[in-house]
Amino acid sequence: MSLTVLLLVVAAGALAYVNGANDNSKGVATLVGARLATYPRALAWGTAWTVAGGLAALVVSSGLVKMFSTALVSGGVAASPRFSLAIAVASWAWVLLASRLALPVSTTHALTGAIVGAAVAGGGVEGVQWALLAGVVVLPLAFSPVASALLAYAMHAIFAQPMKRAARYCVCVEKGQRIVLAPASGTAQYTALSQPVVATGDGAECDAAGFQHRLPLTTVAHWGASAALSFARGLNDTPKIIAIAVLVGANSAVPSASLFVLGALMMGLGGYLSGWRVTHTLAERVTTIDPLEGLSASTVASGLVLAASWFTLPVSTTHVSSGAIVGAGLRGGASAVSWRTVSTLGAAWVITVPVSALLGFSIYTLLW
């Protein structure tokens, strides 16, 4: 492996790390905001499912790899390690800064901007497939937050009463019976717990039966929706990040499978160790999230991102999940949303593409 390829693999791993730090929050923010999980537990949950999604992307997301490696660029500039390295460093720098500032920005936007900037630096204005960029990348990115906000608002309005009725039911776990095993000598004892008994019923039935733990069905569904969104995020983001190294890696006999594993693991590590800043912003600074609103937001966001991954659409998990949280929060009226925070997030989204493009152009020019 040449030094250039090694630098590129390290850069891709660093980008995956800061992506996890910024994006892990998108899958678990509603759990924290609804007070269903602590920050450490939520981040661990999101990390596990993000890594699973990243590994699954090796099988089902080859279209996104092609789009973010060669499809958006004309000519042979995409085959240059200089091009890939400029994209990786530019995207990493912007997402790292945003994560430090607790701003949930789009890695997809950052990568898109960096690709455009580096392509223009390497091949001129004609080096970019502008029509494909507008139709396949820009429109889904712009449309996704609006769609998720409207769907989350509508879903809460339509299913609020059924969800409230479902909240009366719970999954009940019976207290495990302690089993004491004594050896023949009688000098020591070993204890274990029997298998818990799981049943479904309303709260009164659980109390009457002497069950120890209760989880409302809506809470179980919320944890499931959070897992689906985290999985979808890993599925959609990993191929975009790895795409910058796949082409050069293939020319250097670096297996693409190992790059996907590296990306998934680094994404998970970044989310678990450094994801609390952005999680705090989405969980507590945008709107007050009640459990049913959080369930609506997570369900809508996970559905949209999973569908986008299936149809090879590079939507931003940031935009989808943030839009869904705002849409669900609007059920409490416009005053329930912190528009100051939303405007700050919107400004960060708007400048992501031009800043990343400028960085990509500058870094490409400075390299070699």
If you average pLDDT over residues 169-197, what whole number do you get?
50
Six-digit token string for 322: 């943030």
Q: Token pair of 291, please?
A: 């459990």
Tell me which of 146-150, 165-169, 348-352 is least confident.
Answer: 165-169
- What is the residue whose two structure tokens read 């207290």? 175
- pLDDT of residue 334 exceeding 60, the answer is yes
Q: Considering the chain, what percentage of its residues have pLDDT values greater than 70? A: 75
pTM strictly above 0.85: no
Q: What is the pLDDT of residue 356?
A: 94
- Cβ burial of 83 (10 Å; 0-12, 13-18, 19+) is buried
pLDDT tens digits along 186-235: 444 444 444 444 455 555 555 555 555 667 778 888 999 999 989 988 98
Give mean pLDDT, residues 250-262: 73
The pLDDT of residue 156 is: 67
Distance from C-alpha of 146 to C-alpha of 117, rounded to nearest angstrom: 27
Comparing CA positions, the residue from 300, 358, 339, 306 lying closest to residue 156 is: 300
Q: What is the pLDDT of residue 268?
A: 94
pLDDT tier for residue 29 given thresholds of 50, 70 and 90? very high
Across the chain, what does the average pLDDT equal? 80
For the chain, give the percent of residues with pLDDT over 90.
29
Instruction: Say how far apart CA 278 and CA 157 lie, in whole Å.
Output: 28
Say whether 305 sits in a helix, a strand or coil. helix
105 vs 168, residue with greater confidence:
105
What is the pLDDT, as a whole number, of residue 241?
Answer: 84
SS3 content of the chain, % helix, strand, coil (to 5): 75, 10, 15
62 has a pLDDT exceeding 90: no
Strand order in the sheet with 198-202: 198-202, 169-174, 211-216
Q: Are 14 and 197 in contact (CB under 8 A)?
A: no
pLDDT digits (tens, 9 = 90+) for 289-323: 888 888 888 888 888 888 876 776 666 778 888 88
Backbone angles phi, psi at 187, to 5 degrees: -90, -10
Give every CB contact of residue 341 below 8 A, 6+ residues apart in sequence. Answer: 281, 285, 286
- Which one is predicted more confidently, 20 or 176? 20
- pLDDT band for 238, please (50, 70, 90 cuts): confident
Cα 318 to Cα 26, 64, 154, 214, distances in angstroms: 6, 17, 20, 32
CB 319 within 8 A of CB 345: no
Secondary structure letter of residue 174 according to DSSP: E
Q: Decide if pLDDT at 337 tops 70.
A: yes
Q: How far apart are CA 79 and CA 251, in angstroms?
A: 9
